[in-house]
Chain A
């Protein structure tokens, strides 16, 4: 898997403006990307603010915020919440880095 191909946005974080849960999720994700080696370089991150782009929430099937979606091939892993559960967050990042 080339780094270039992996850059094709494998992580999407849906937040609701700067609400406390969303702000915390953004911070926690940023910290995790620093902690998990190579993740920031390998995984492309798109942050979607549902207040700014509400139609994305409906089309992408986002029910709650914050929601982190990890895309891998045809499947996707959904992690909801403010990402304070670092164990689950790191696990998700690692599974995306691991070769299919």
Chain B
């Protein structure tokens, strides 16, 4: 048996005096109790936003995409901004569950379930935008390479827009499988604790007859590893391909080689900000502060300052190379970004994404819940502006007579609000009916990183290094 030991220099990942049973009790409580008033109000607000979004989209489908304020010069507006923004947000979950798993980061267990759920909902929201942008959505299946009678396969295989279809649908599928396979043992726990017949039957169906036998756990672990392996490249590939949508073109401001890694860093940045927004509230409302500790929040803030700085280096690199390249179009595109009609968007982006996250260099601020919540909103605003700034490179093309300025119509705003409705409706349902923290995974780290267990580790801390080494390497 491997020694359950962790250095005292690390703070506990589970606070308080917890046993395995107590963990189950704490996490299942919200699911087994009646929904609170706060939950009901929140859910109703989200559902009405969703309804308004559906109305806006119906309006757009009925009248055509003409009701959006897109024009010949600016063919992409809020729709693609929102698409990229949501896809980006959908990156934190898989990064936490796959890459942090490979990096053996124990703190991921407190936040991975909610982050993965958020990923799935965010990707669902993202998918809406290109689909409804098609206008004639009944032809949406044209993006799929189905066999047809028109001769060669329909889609254009050298278009990054098509690669997007594959990348995002793969990402969605694998993330969903990963999330769901993690949920199975927890659903079984809920089933076993269920007091009503209906609940027992429902959780019984979704837990696929999980019995918790050694063989089940063995297969479960195997599956997790395989899915983690599959997801890791997907974390990079999805936003890489989204960036190709822009970077393969020859539009000044879009065609730049740094786009793929910089988009990925930005995606992780915004994803973690959204995880913070949701979890700061969730831990408070569901009383889970002992599982999502200040330490968890600080760790995620570190990721935010890191990725925010990477993005910052990329912004400055872009600016510098535009100047250094000597390409007049490129220089003009960047001059317009900084000082042109959309200057306000550029400076909003710079302030929110590069300047303000630098405050997280201070430990005090990283560990301040209110400040974290405030910053998470700021970062999400900043990352929305980043996509808007990039897409608005379109507003002045090579022909001055077609220069234009774009503001969204009410249907575009309604559509965006509707995506929030979809996202939060899903999240509220998730928070009520699913265990928001992975029960089995918390138990896995409890005896290494739980506060009460860590307190007992002084006996190892007091041993000399030689004695410790001797004991651990020769006794088994």
Does B associate with A?
no
Residues of B within 8 A of A (CB): none
